[in-house]
Structure 1
Amino acid sequence: MAAQAHLLLSQKLARTLKWLVAGLATVATLFLLTAWIGSAIPRNSDWAQPSTGVEIMVETNSVHTALVLPLVSDAKDWRSEFPASDVDAAHLPYTHVSISWGEREVFLNTPTWSDLSPMTALRIVGVGGEGLLHIAHYVRPAPSDDLRPMRITDEQYRQLVAEIERSIGRNPERKSYPGYNAQDVFYDAPGEYSVTNTCNQWTSNTLAAAGIKTGWWTPLAGGVMKWVPSLDNTET
């Protein structure tokens, strides 16, 4: 009888596990489908690159996206918010700053995606997490397929700057945290990360606020980059 009960229990657990896996697969499929549909719906659909203006860059590592901006321009000097003295290689002649927003635990404790634990991933999907700002300093970054330049008007750049300033807040007591290398750093930032408000959504929301064409819902990096002109195509 004990053996039969054990067999029945094992079969029940197997069925439960099977349904659980099937449910997770369904949720993942629905998420990817809605992400594909949402990112294909444009905001600011009539936008086109101007012939003159400010050149910015949109950066990706295929999972995460960032905005790469001139360190100093007529519209903004980012050195006040993001001083080079906050990074180890403070002596370099920086020309650009990479700005992105994401989830605190992932940013600080998962330097590579292989370090992301299943429990952290489930927590982010289920309940979200606190926001964190990632800043990297660059010296004359070279355009590539993962670092794509795009031109926007002076007014659009001012709007972009204003949106970034609003989203990062002004906390005189914000803390900084060591980055992944000698040229980057993390800062406290407002906002709650969730499956509907991801790092990539932050990028597209920031672009959209400046009137630049981008996808409506872009939880994945590809949904952002599909709207950024590739190197051999200067028009969107």
Structure 2
Amino acid sequence: MRFAIKVTKWMGGLMVALLVALSMGVFVPRPLASPAEASVGDGTQILLLANPIHTDIALPVDDEVRAAFADLAPSGLPVDMPGVEYLIIGWGGRSFYIETPTWGDIRPLPVLKALTIDRSVLHVSVAGPIDPAHPTVRPLAVTQEGRGRMIAAIRASFVRDGGSPVAIPGTAYGFDDAFFEAKGAFNAFLGCNTWTAAMLRAGGVRTGWWTPLPQLLDLSIDLHHDA
């Protein structure tokens, strides 16, 4: 009985600590690398895409984006395919990301790795028009300079061999995407959404200190980003 009471108290204390950490992570803003870029709005726009557990960044494809990510084309990613308007990039745990293309593909081992620690990958895909008014899409205004820094930060996330990103053969969901080796280890506390937040901050979008869920990242942008 005493052991059960101690375990209950320990679990209660852990939950309180987690709630405090989440609250501080959302409500306390994280400083930008370039404070002068905190106020944006010169007409340049990127998109934040979200599902219940994951976020991606969608970059409008123009000459700058094509040039910056031209080294992804040898992997078979059709960056220059007619009709491509967005390059969509996300970071995540290798096992869960690669082995779970749909909710119906969820299996215990990838979930376990996602909740503990796993190697990381970058998933890059191309898309045509995206409706900015869709509930899963959030447009964000950034400066040209800010977008350039965001692109540089995303490029720096790729593992490279001889200067080229390292593609992972046989892992694509379809013809319009590819997986690449990424820097950093994935875990439940520092996962896909904290990576997305870091890329957004590189572009001048202020977020909270710790936003492990899409909903928390979205709320922190509401609170701290001066658009």
Q: TM-score, normalised by structure 1?
A: 0.75
Find 1:175's aligned residue among 146, 164, 167. Answer: 167
Superposition deviation, residue 184 in structure 1: 2.1
Superposition deviation, residue 192 in structure 1: 0.6
Find 1:65's aligned residue among 47, 55, 58. Answer: 55
Whole-angstrom CA distance in 1 between matches of 2:201 and 2:92: 18
The more displaced of 172-181 and 203-212 is 172-181
The more displaced of 178-187 and 158-167 is 178-187
| Alignment-derived partner of residue 188 in structure 2 | 195
| Alignment-derived partner of residue 129 in structure 1 | 118
Whole-angstrom CA distance in 2 between matches of 1:92 and 1:56: 20
Find 2:156's aligned residue among 166, 173, 194. Answer: 166
> Given the alignment of the two structures, is residue 42 of structure 1 paired with residue 29 of structure 2, yes or no?
yes
Whole-angstrom CA distance in 2 between matches of 1:211 and 1:170: 26
Superposition deviation, residue 49 in structure 1: 3.2
Secondary structure of residue in 2 paired with 1:168: coil
Superposition deviation, residue 20 in structure 1: 7.5
Q: 1:25 to 1:71 in 2, by over 3 A?
A: farther
Secondary structure of residue in 2 paired with 1:156: helix
Superposition deviation, residue 119 in structure 1: 4.5
The more displaced of 142-151 and 24-33 is 24-33
Read off the aligned partner of 1:200 and give its amino acid letter: N
| Matched length | 216
Greater than 6 Å deviation, 4+ residue runs: 18-26
Tell whether the 8 Å contact from 2:40 to 2:204 is kept in structure 1 after alignment. Answer: no
Find 1:219's aligned residue among 209, 212, 222. Answer: 212
> Given the alignment of the two structures, is residue 157 of structure 1 paired with residue 144 of structure 2, yes or no?
no
Read off the aligned partner of 1:174 and give its amino acid letter: V
Whole-angstrom CA distance in 2 between matches of 1:142 and 1:118: 34
Q: 1:118 to 1:85 in 2, by over 3 A?
A: closer
Structure 1: gaps spanning 5 or more residues: 1-10
Q: Residue deviations 1:64-122, cap 9 Å, x none?
A: 00110022244663441332972589854211101110000001112234544445434
| RMSD of aligned residue pairs (Cα, Å) | 3.4
Read off the aligned partner of 1:206 and give its amino acid letter: M
Tell whether the 8 Å contact from 1:71 to 1:78 is kept in structure 2 after alignment. Answer: no
Tell whether the 8 Å contact from 1:72 to 1:79 is kept in structure 2 after alignment. Answer: no
Superposition deviation, residue 158 in structure 1: 1.1
Superposition deviation, residue 225 in structure 1: 1.7
Superposition deviation, residue 139 in structure 1: 0.9
Indicate the percent of aligned positions where both proteins have the same amino acid.
Answer: 25
Q: Which has the larger radius of gyration?
A: 1
